[in-house]
Structure 1
Amino acid sequence: MSVPISDKYKVLKHTFGFSNFREMQEEAVDAILSRRDLAMLLPTGGGKSLCYQLPTLLMEGITIVVSPLIALMHDQVIALKELGIEAEMISSSQSSQEQQEAFTKAKNGILKLLYIAPERLANGSFLSWLTTLDINFFVIDEAHCISEWGHEFRDDYRRLGELRSAFPHTPIAAFTATATPKVREDILSQLGLHEPLILRAPVLRKNITITVRERDNGWHNDLMNILKEHEGESGIIYAFSRKETEELAAFLSKKGIKCLAYHAGMSGSLRHDTHQSFLNDETQIIVATVAFGMGIDKGDIRFVIHTSLPKTIENYYQEIGRAGRDGIDSEAVLFYSGSDFHNKKRLIDEGSDPQYREMILAKLRSAMDYATAEECRHRLIASYFSDSVEVCGDRCDNCKDSDRPKTDITVPSQKFLSCLYKTGERFGATYISEVLCGEEKEKILSNAHDKLSVFGIGKELSKSTWSTISKRLIELGAIEPDEYKALKLTASGAEILKGKQSVHIRQERLTPKKASVKTKEHDHHAPKYYENFKALRARIAKEHRIPAYIVFGDKTLYSLAEQLPTSKEEMLNISGIGEVKFERYGELFLELTRELSAKES
């Protein structure tokens, strides 16, 4: 199918409000319009949805979008309807009447897009029903879920290969934000893509600043300082367990922060209400397990915080990608502890399929290596996905503070490891520190460890310093705790003990931190009248019962506040405002801009 360039750009501007395509979007659109299979790797926030939403408007028939994310399907259907595009979803979250209405619209040729969950395709009668529709192409969203070598393998996705058999001449477009080379090959193979166009955007998210911090006893103070810097802005805090989400949400609520917990143990209705409250800006922060986030299509999330080590780099990259989807500067902060690795490793050892255990453990080790590394964070992530980028300069803590002094702790490390070995590898870090400091405690005396050559050889350092050294050795994999938290020497630790490997640590980690509270800095992003436009957007969203970002994204509001357009023509020149959106809300915003322009004159 040949589509004139003018038609493509006309739809881009008229319906979506953009004058130009973003990186690789046009190539994806052209591939679909030419009925070619497509495999696209595009970071979260890269404009993936437009790649398939635009071409279907220029084609006959309906597009079937397969997605595992019910919340995201729901939000995208609402957003499409706001653009005047006929779209529906069929999911378990709907009533039978709602599902039947979607079936009828699809059958009658009214819909341009129909979103379905992958488990639908396991139903033979549903697959047969699909053959009665005029399907122009299939979209497989979150395509990495099809691979057993990925971080989110789903059995329902494995069946998607049947689409090629049932619809041999219907193109398939597969999209994902995260896939290693092995997973990419698996996607192509499992879906049976035929000579697909493969598009791979750079992994780098330039607008996200990444910081990694060790989680110590004062980490709550650090967290509060970060939240003060983002006062009034939307954010997600990922916690390790359901219990932690509830405890942390309660702690923040007591501090006056509009905050809710979210985890898979909550009822479906409560999760839905929490999700909607966040989308509608009634709740500022969600404290959640990883059950939350993949389905969030909210452009104005300004920060994502992890309170513990993520299971994989894939998870981490996808989760920090929730921040700054609109391209505006945002922040990702990871708090980690050496114990995180071993707590998660224990869960993997106890509950994982033996066939995949080593692969899962390797991914966890990669996550720990990332947390403790002293190289550019963005470059480390890119390298994991076999991409290469220049060092970010000032977009991560390692580059920003590249000149931070480091201390060689090889000799103290050897003392610690020697003491660990000579006490029989039966004790934890606290006991080893006490032996090194020469403390004549009852347990030490009863074990006769006061007679060892290592007793008291570390008196020059405090117990807290020895604790820090032990954490560094755990981070580096030189020692690891068993199920009883007794430390064991590893092959890497033996190399350090023999003098074949040195150990360094950042100087500030050896110096006790002083508590401090930051004050809210001026938001350098927001123009003078941004809050006026934000208030109008909130009012419109409430009246229409839709999330605020669906009215206009923050980036569009910033442009409105900066330019103060006073005519339709001027307003349509702003990115994100097309004819459809202008017809719905344009006059209300023009009324405000004229009022504000009068103040300026």
Structure 2
Amino acid sequence: MATKSGKHYAAGKRVWQRPLLKKILKQVFGHTGFRPFQQEAVEAVMANRDLLMILPTGGGKSLCYQLPALMKEGVTVVVSPLLALMHDQVRALKLQGVEAEMIGSMQTPEEIGTVIAKLREGEVKLLYIAPERFFAPGFLKLLKSIQIAMFVIDEAHCVSEWGHEFREDYRRLGVLKEYFPNTPVAAFTATATPEVESDILLQLGLNEPVRLRGSVYRNNLLIRAEPRRGDGRGQLVDFLRRYRGESGIVYTFTRNAAEKLADYLNRQGFRAKAYHAGLTKRLRREAYHAFVHDEIDVVVATVAFGMGIDKSNIRYVVHTRMPKTLENYYQEIGRAGRDGLPAETLLLYSAADAAQRASLLEELPEGPYRQNAYNKLEKMIGFCRSESCRHGQIADYFAERMEACGERCDNCMGDAEHIDVTEDARKFLSALYRTRQRFGKSHLIDLLRGAENRKIMQFGHEKLSVYGIGKERSRGEWEAIVERLMELGALARGQHRSLLLTPVGAEILKGKGRVKIRSDRLRVKERKRKPPRSVPADIVYDKAIFDRLRALRKEIAAKEGVPAYIVFADRTLALMAALLPVTRNEMLGINGVGEVKFERYGEEFLTLLKELSNGEL
């Protein structure tokens, strides 16, 4: 194992220095410095340490293994779940002058043979493969015959059956440590609860790994959620009109819904395509290609689309139905604003979504996994209806604490009316207390509403003083009040989904605390809304100049047959529009412009920027 000594690390036969690392960082990747946690990750990998890194989408995980891969002896093998993602990453690396290849089912035997020959000749620095490739005949033997610098497991949450995207082929990757006990393994994911994090470590058999966890909070994301009116198409179109010409993803629940909604959006004047697992490979490939090359603006998709998508300029993500877990939701909204510029998310939900999700869980066998799934669904339902900070709720789910976000979610923008439901809350808490905290929400609501069902009669609860004292409230209203009490910490979950009174709840029951709830949750009146706001950008630039730079980027991308964001990211163009570089050195000072990309595209952008600097708009 490598040891730290001054400003040097020993990694294999090569001794590297931080100045060299910074030089390659700028020369190849165009970056002048590291983002949070990147340098620690790079140094851990260079020291031949195992690594588990949990960093939100857009945090720069790829750099943490791509940079050391260029400095270490041998091949870095990257396990990734999606062929389209691998293809895009390999293409982007080649444009930066990096020797990267992939082996996947889209390639012919001849193409795979060419890659294998390059591996044997030492002409590959990064090799991208799908997890099932490891178990193809002869592949492990091939890896044993060449020098491996490290293994990288991308989307590592797929290893854990407690995660939201468990894959059996990922689970089998624990054999890496058996076959290559002295080769470091670096695992990366954007999401992992503490339970999933522990499972990743266990299943991959990581040896005293460096563990890095970034904050889940992304201040460039504006998060909104609102009840769906009807089929939600009116709300969706109103939202999309504010982002006409920008890239975005709209998630639906079913394949049929994706196709119908894509057709509808095209009739409304939006450039849209459907994407789901039921389409042929050719149609999925065409939709994906059109989206990443900015030939369409909107992909209407099921969850089959998006994990790890390498497109940085997605400005919005809309869910037309409630996701099944907060992990899924966070992964999916994470595809917006990966370039660090403002992006917005909208979640449309209804009670029917929750019922539909719950009915699917009924098919699971009894046991801890099913109970865990129900708990996750309950968290997702609570998130939709909650009036607490949405960023804070996501952070809490992943065992992180944060202050309210300010104005980066609808709940913190202060645009809702509230009503006092303290007396109703005390009625519910009294019913809970008088039934000895042995029952769940549904039974207690039945008790308050004076239901005459078998369970009420079985326990003699019709004789209690609280029986029927809440008839004036509908079941839906009572459910909202209970959810609010859960948010306030007045209730806790006991065994078999029973509810327990907490010290906070006891204070409210004694009349020493007030409970207020957003009026729209009780459907008292329509919620007032402020005009939509975007997250303030941290770059001030001329939009007309930015648009001219984007137009040039589009021409270059079309000519080279690559997605526009691979030429330069939106954030890099925004910096150009703000700083107006007119010399080679000034251009190289822009974050995102490396020497390789400058040689390829720099002069065309410099020529345009000189014209724009002289006012030739």
Q: Answer yes or no: same fold by TM over 0.5.
A: yes
Quote the residue 2:146 is aligned against: 133
Which residue identity is paired with 1:422? A
Tell me the distance in 1 between the aligned counterparts of 2:602 and 2:217.
35
Gap change, CA 1:356 and 1:491, over 3 Å in 2: closer
- C-alpha separation in 2, matches of 1:515 and 1:256: 29
Q: Which piece of structure 1 moves more, 14-23 or 355-364? A: 355-364
Per the alignment, in what secondary structure is the counterpart of residue 341 of structure 2? coil
Letter in 2 for 1:150: G
Partner of 1:436: none
SS in 1 for 2:387: coil
Amino acid at match of 1:365: E
Counterpart in the other structure of 1:161: 174
Q: 1:175 to 1:519 in 2, by over 3 A?
A: closer
For residue 95 of structure 1, report the CA deviation from its aligned partner.
2.0
Of 79, 84, 87 in structure 2, the residue corresponding to residue 74 of structure 1 is 87
Q: Aligned in 2, Cα 1:380/1:588: closer, same or farther, shift over 3 Å?
A: same
Aligned twin of 1:472: 480
Residue correspondence of structure 1 range 321-332 to structure 2 within 5 A:
321-332=334-345
Q: Distance in 2 between matches of 1:523 and 1:203?
A: 19
TM-score (norm 2): 0.83
Counterparts of 1:153-192 in structure 2, within 5 Å, are: 153-192=166-205
State how far apart, in whole Å, the 1-side matches of 2:555 and 2:37 are. 35
Corresponding residue for 2:326?
313
Alpha-carbon displacement from aligned partner over 1:55-89 (angstroms, at most 9, x marks no partner):
11111111000111211111100110110101111
Match of 2:403 in 1: 390
Shift of 1:506: 1.7
Shift in Å, 1:9 = 0.4
Structure-2 separation of matches of 1:355 and 1:593: 61
Instruction: Give the % identical residues.
Output: 46
Query: Do the aligned partners of 1:122 and 1:159 also contact (CA within 8 Å) in 2?
Result: no
User: Displacement, 1:563?
Assistant: 1.9
- 1:133–1:572 distance in 2 versus 1, CA, 3 Å: same
Corresponding residue number in structure 1 for 2:559: 543
- CA deviations on 1:188-215 (whole Å, 9 max, x unpaired) are 1211111111111111111111111111
What residue identity is the alignment partner of 2:451?
K
Relative to structure 1, is the Cα distance of residues 402 and 386 closer, same or farther in structure 2, using a 3 angstrom cutoff? farther
Asked if 1:296 corresponds to 2:309, the answer is: yes
Q: Deviations over 1:284-306 (max 9, x none)?
A: 01111111011311100011111
Q: Find out whether 1:263 has 2:271 as its counterpart.
A: no
Q: Is 1:229 aligned to 2:245, yes or no?
A: no
SS in 2 for 1:388: coil
What is the distance in 1 between the residues matched to 2:528 and 2:387? 24
Describe the shift of the 1:512–1:369 C-alpha distance in structure 2 as closer, same or farther (beyond 3 A). Answer: closer
Give SS of 1:529's match: helix
Q: Cα gap change, 1:555/1:580 in structure 2, threshold over 3 Å: closer, same or farther?
A: same
Q: Residue by residue, what CA displacement relative to the aligned partner does 1:354-394 show, whole Å, maximum 9, x if unpaired?
A: 56211111111111122122211111111111111121111
C-alpha contact (below 8 Å) 1:338/1:471 kept by paired residues: no
SS in 1 for 2:29: coil
C-alpha contact (below 8 Å) 1:338/1:474 kept by paired residues:
no
Distance 2:533 2:325 in 1: 33
Rounded to whole Å, the distance in 2 between the matches of 1:164 and 1:522 is: 44
- Partner AA of 2:477 in structure 1: I
Checking the alignment, whether the CA contact within 8 Å between 1:231 and 1:520 is kept in structure 2 is no
Q: Name whichever of 417-426 and 565-574 sits farther off.
A: 417-426
Q: 1:598 to 1:250 in 2, by over 3 A?
A: same
Q: How far apart, in 2, do the equivalents of 1:519 and 1:396 lie?
A: 11
Whether the 8 Å CA contact 2:416–2:529 is kept in 1: the answer is: no
Aligned residue pairs, count: 556
Number of the residue aligned with 1:432 = none
How far did 1:421 drift? 4.9
Return the alpha-carbon distance in structure 2 between the equivalents of residues 102 and 239 of structure 1.
38
The 3-state SS of whatever aligns with 1:3 is strand
Assess if the C-alpha contact under 8 Å between 2:481 and 2:517 holds in 1: no
Partner of 1:102: 115
Quickly say closer, same or farther: Cα 1:219–1:492, change in 2 above 3 A: farther
Q: What pairs up with 1:401-416 in 2 under 5 angstroms?
A: 401=414, 404-408=417-421
Residue type at the aligned position of 1:529 = I
1:564 CA drift (Å): 1.8
Q: Secondary structure of 2:347's partner?
A: strand
Instruction: Give, in angstroms, the shift of residue 170 of structure 1.
Output: 0.6
Q: CA deviation at 1:398?
A: 1.2
Residue aligned with 1:15, SS: helix
Are the structure 2 counterparts of residues 387 and 347 from structure 1 closer, same or farther at C-alpha, using a change threshold of 3 Å? same
Checking the alignment, whether the CA contact within 8 Å between 1:210 and 1:333 is kept in structure 2 is: yes
Contact 1:368 1:475 in 2 (8 A): no
Tell whether the 8 Å contact from 2:81 to 2:130 is kept in structure 1 after alignment. Answer: yes
Give the Cα separation in 1 of the matches to 2:260 and 2:530. Answer: 22
Q: What does 1:198-277 align with in structure 2 at a 5 Å threshold?
A: 198-217=211-230, 219-277=232-290
Cα distance between partner residues in 1 of 2:53 and 2:451? 55
- 1:399 maps to what in 2? 412
Aligned to 2:464: none
8 Å contact 2:150–2:185 — kept in the other structure?
Answer: yes
> SS at 1:236's partner residue?
strand
Contact 1:228–1:518 (Cα < 8 Å) also in 2: no
CA contact (8 A) 2:416 2:519 kept: no
Whether the 8 Å CA contact 1:16–1:578 is kept in 2: the answer is yes
Assess if the C-alpha contact under 8 Å between 1:73 and 1:115 holds in 2: yes
Give the distance between the partners of 2:536 and 2:406, measured in 1 at CA: 22
Q: Cα 1:514–1:381, aligned 2, differ >3 Å: closer, same or farther?
A: closer
* Separation of aligned partners in 2, 1:76 and 1:30: 22
CA 1:541–1:523 in 2, change beyond 3 Å: closer, same or farther? Answer: farther
User: Structure 1 residues 180, 516: CA separation in 2 closer, same or farther (over 3 Å shift)?
Assistant: closer
RMSD (CA atoms) = 3.2
Q: Distance in 1 between matches of 2:294 and 2:344?
A: 19
Whether the aligned pair in 2 keeps the contact of 1:213 and 1:334 (CA below 8 Å) is: yes
How far apart, in 2, do the equivalents of 1:425 and 1:96 lie?
Answer: 67
1:405: Cα distance to partner? 2.0
Contact kept? 1:221, 1:517, Cα under 8 Å: no
Give 5+ residue unaligned stretches, structure 1. 427-452, 479-489
CA distance in 1, matches of 2:447, 2:198: 46
Is the 8 Å Cα contact of residues 70 and 295 (structure 1) preserved in structure 2?
no
